[in-house]
Structure 1
């Protein structure tokens, strides 16, 4: 089979177009980021045609990437590259079978596990601050919902006003890929999540007094909305980073000896630069840990956050040895 001349950027564009209809916005973003790095590397090697990409060049890319990122990030990148190369085989841009020579980065158990987590004590302080000074604001609703349900950022962003059932009260999470809000596990991520009357009251007040009266590009009424329509993942993440900065919720005292008046991390869009701020996923880990410490069964917690028990134990339950021992206390028998 004769290979066809294919510029890397064209192969990347065709690959992302193929994936677009089948994966979530976040997954597509991750694919694009990994391939952008790969194309940057190819440019440094003056490779302008996929026919000149071989397994040795891909291995060199892995080494190049490991100079800048952790092994877990390199592994995820290499998985994307492997799949991309397989796609390139299907369009006759690279030799058939090349993807089988792509090795994914080896990762230790320690490197694979992220300990970034928001504690229950921190969450209570943050929500107290938001309830007092930013009640029923978009930021309040974002942090409150993520913490009280443990849902993924994509699930939060996918919510419409009609998905909030004030009477039960509950939040109904649905997969709507055809109108721009796919869930990570597609229909398997669909579920109803019960919330407390207190949380429901905040959501109801937000909808009636703070939420902009807007629709998205598909005519839907997003729950998490800005003046321009459905809030982007970036906007939601910025609100979380800012809300979880220690000086935001501990009376303005910086634990890192920075001057709050000049610290760049106190500005909108720069809060991720604060060593103490965390991403939305840290709230998911925090919820799981707090729920398990409170005695909520593993299967109940897993169903609520749409997660298997194995993944919950390995990546999300950040309870200390002491906390986990206390959980087992009531189940112990003298034998």
Structure 2
């Protein structure tokens, strides 16, 4: 099997875990979202340490924050990813999984917008149209439901800012996320001590819940490891296409498994977002082909 094929399969596996994880967190909806987040953080940290220890990469962890600038970047990323995780778990807990899937659909478009704001990256016409259509979708849904889709917006923008700040780090995703959960772990542990002291903690209450809280860390770590494996073997264009599997599975789980309300306003908004993504993806693919063609032409001229 070729490395590229292995990379695509790893990316599909990662997106499948992310896309279906709502089913797992729904089974934990008797546990408060903050408590689930704390266990997800702590057990994820343990799992990452084991993986990096086996790979002999533990020394890379402190180097990620060995300067004030790096620490500030990682701290910002930590705040964004913890907010993202908490809102996602809460969306499943309180019946807003459809809105959560919308957030991950519009994330690539908010990432483009964040790049323009923070890195002064110029938007081409298809990107501007795509961002505009996504904005119209949010406005229509807000007007139709008489409330803004805050879950979708928070998920999209927190993940976009997370990606933007991590763009300036030269550390791999597994090592950087290990540092992020390491920063969060003392706070997670402190909160768990508080709730267990008050007799309201769920860890240890029954075997199934206890095991599921521990495995929450594993299902956090495994897709990130698979994603890291995939990014080293396949093109960014392929990753961009395959990553839509994640919100698509989330959407199907929300509407077909959880049977959440899906109104005409949702249908209009999602149709606009899917159109925006089609325009954005087509533009990205054309640009990628043009860059590869130019690179091949430059390589050919260089050998003559």
Question: Relative CO higher for 1 or 2, CA cutoff 8 Å, sep ≥ 6?
Answer: 2
Larger Rg: 1
Higher strand share: 1
Q: Tell whether the structures are fold-level matches, with TM greater than 0.5.
A: no
> TM-score, normalised on structure 2?
0.27
> TM-score, normalised on structure 1?
0.26
